């Protein structure tokens, strides 16, 4: 590995945000899944949680259909599979993570309202039916990107990017990109996995 490559890996890992993640609930179009991973990488999300779709023609994680849109992000963002959204939400909450479901409900707030400097996971729904009511209820909060057009919803990858860059904005203000957020052992392990001997 060249010194430049090593420096880039260390620079990227120095900005990773282990306390920020997404949970994709049956996002079934490979280009959406991959675009979300690409945004995760750009913002510093190290782990993306995903409930694979139960039906549809989605290829398995890691196939070339994903890799085409991700711009290689699938190599740099770990995907942790879960069997269902509600149990994934509960598991994250047990780790002290606030789960914010992108869902329109009585308790929805503008996506800019929550404090994203807290450990946070953004729950994103399937293209056809969105976040299930059960998962939205289990979440700590419901957030919505206000829309004023004729169409009722955004593409899921666009919604993910909008929210994750708000999280990035808040975390930049709070200085969370100025010092490494990964624990030293994790940083060393990932650097090794990414190719540093
Ligand atoms: N028919 C679905 C519904 O009623 O929820 C539409 C799902 S939308 C195409 C797919 C996903 O994109 C949603 O589950 C949510 O995660 C995200 N999304 C789309 N528009 C959004 C918005 N205005 N605010 C927050 N999330 C949004």
Residue 5 belongs to some domain of the structure: no
Burial of 62 (0-12, 13-18, 19+ CB in 10 A): exposed
Q: Residue 57, annotated ligand binder?
A: no
Strand partners, 182: none
Residue 115 belongs to some domain of the structure: yes
Please give the structure tokens belonging to residue 155: 């593409």
Q: Which atom of ligand 1 is nearest to the CA of 131?
A: 14
Kindly report the CATH number assigned to the domain that includes residue 164. Answer: 3.40.1280.10
| Rounded CA Rg of the chain | 17
In this predicted structure, what is the pLDDT of residue 18?
A: 98
In this predicted structure, what is the pLDDT of residue 69?
A: 62
Residue 176 belongs to some domain of the structure: yes
ipTM: 0.97
Whose C-alpha lies nearest to ligand 1, atom 6?
Answer: 130
Q: Which long-range contacts (CB under 8 A, 24 or more apart) does 5-11 make?
A: 5/195, 6/196, 9/191, 9/194, 9/195, 9/196, 10/191
Q: Residue 129, annotated ligand binder?
A: yes
**Mean of all residue pLDDT scores within the chain:** 92
Work out how many domains the chain is built from and give that number.
1
Q: What is the dihedral of CA 81, 58, 70, 135, to 10 degrees?
A: -40
Q: Residue 128, annotated ligand binder?
A: yes
pLDDT in tens, 178-192: 999 999 999 999 999
In this predicted structure, what is the pLDDT of residue 197?
A: 57
Angle CA 112–130–171, to nearest 5 = 25
pLDDT band at 63 (very low <50, low <70, confident <90, very high): low
In this predicted structure, what is the pLDDT of residue 72?
A: 83
Residue 197 belongs to some domain of the structure: no
Residue 7 belongs to some domain of the structure: no
The residue to mutate among 125, 136, 162, 163, having the most atoms of ligand 1 within 8 angstroms of its beta carbon, is 125
Angle CA 180–185–186, to nearest 5 = 65
Residue 1 belongs to some domain of the structure: no
pLDDT in tens, 10-52: 999 999 999 999 999 999 999 999 999 999 999 999 999 999 9
pLDDT of 70 higher than 70: no
pLDDT of 173 higher than 60: yes
Task: Give the domain range for residue 55.
Answer: 17-188
Angle CA 138–141–143, to nearest 5 = 125
Strand pairing category for 120-124 and 20-25: parallel
Q: Residue 145, annotated ligand binder?
A: yes
The residue to mutate among 99, 154, 157, having the most atoms of ligand 1 within 8 angstroms of its beta carbon, is 154
Residue 120 belongs to some domain of the structure: yes
Q: Residue 172, annotated ligand binder?
A: no
Give the rounded distance of the alpha carbon of 197 from its chain centre: 28
Please tell me the distance between residue 153's alpha carbon and the centre of ligand 1 in angstroms: 5
Burial of 162 (0-12, 13-18, 19+ CB in 10 A): middle
pLDDT in tens, 94-110: 999 999 999 999 999 99
Strand partners, 108: 142
| DSSP structural state of residue 99 | E
Q: Which residue in the block uniquely carries the two structure tokens 């993910």?
A: 160
Task: Spell out which residues line ligand 1, taking CB within 6 angstroms.
Answer: 102, 124-125, 127, 129-131, 144-145, 147, 153-154, 156, 159
Residue 10 belongs to some domain of the structure: no
- Give pTM, 2 decimals: 0.94
């Amino acid at each position: 590995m060249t010194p430049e490559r090593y420096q880039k890996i260390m620079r990227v890992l120095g900005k990773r945000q282990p306390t920020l993640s997404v949970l994709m609930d049956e996002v079934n179009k490979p280009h959406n899944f991959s675009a979300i991973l690409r945004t995760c990488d750009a913002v510093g999300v190290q782990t993306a949680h995903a409930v694979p779709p139960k039906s549809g023609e989605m290829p398995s994680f890691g196939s070339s259909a994903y890799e085409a849109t991700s711009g290689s992000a699938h190599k740099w963002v770990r995907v942790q599979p879960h069997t269902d959204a509600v149990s994934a939400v509960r598991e994250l909450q047990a780790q002290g993570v606030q789960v914010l479901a992108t869902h329109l409900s009585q308790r929805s707030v503008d996506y800019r309202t929550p404090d994203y400097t807290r450990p946070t996971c953004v729950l994103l729904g399937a293209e056809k039916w969105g976040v299930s009511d059960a998962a939205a209820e289990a979440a700590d909060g419901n957030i919505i990107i206000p829309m004023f057009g004729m169409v009722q919803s955004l593409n899921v990858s666009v919604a993910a990017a909008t929210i994750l860059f708000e999280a990035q904005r808040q975390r930049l203000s709070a200085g969370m990109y100025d010092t490494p957020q990964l624990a030293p052992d994790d940083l060393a392990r990932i650097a090794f996995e990414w190719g540093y001997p």
